[in-house]
Structure 1
């Protein structure tokens, strides 16, 4: 069952632009209004839909405009159509070179962790060699640490 939203014509046009993935300047140009006016409408839609992002407006508007869905296949198809638009994975990790980019990111992270580990080992070794089991007391030279 579709959600029914009472929107002005201009709110509908802005929401449709956001669903289409257009940015504020493009929507403003296409509608022949200022970017400031589009931003006002976007803020009103955020308040109306109780969302915090333009993607939230698009998702809510898309759901409100959907027709009735009768079967699990139609639900899966509807989800598949929209899930790609709402991905949180950056394009460079989800594009044609995704495998190479992901492997590079993992190797860089492994290198960073190894470098930190090596730095800690060197620091501990340096501190251990510096004391060499002795404590220097000012004016009295090195004395063995007694336990």
Structure 2
């Protein structure tokens, strides 16, 4: 098993960050690129279907949002090749720290350290951009 993790601070309340990250209809806009996820279709949470660009196949997966813990969890269901989580924590003065973590249980699905690190950094950057847009739109 190989694990990767990245964190980023965001200038928004933890609830705002979590709500944006947990929006199932917008997961594909911030999820790590290394997952090659094209879209996510809810089938009745926690079960979801993800379409992987790399294989051009739909895969059964799970997605859980635990608002009381400010935590998201996801992963493949049938083959158990990867899992991930995102944790949001308040850091005071209206800011948040967001940590995203990926675990690859099947070496064949691990794109490698550089690719995953870049994907996680990009993922957190895109989530921050979405949060800024959301918070900016509700402030006015």
**Bin for the TM-score computed over the shorter chain:** under 0.3
Q: Which has the higher strand share?
A: 2
TM-score (norm 1): 0.24
**More helix as a share of residues:** 1
Q: Which of 1 and 2 has higher RCO (CA within 8 Å, sep 6+)?
A: 2
Structure-2-length-normalised TM-score: 0.25
Give the number of the structure whose alpha-carbon radius of gyration is greater: 1
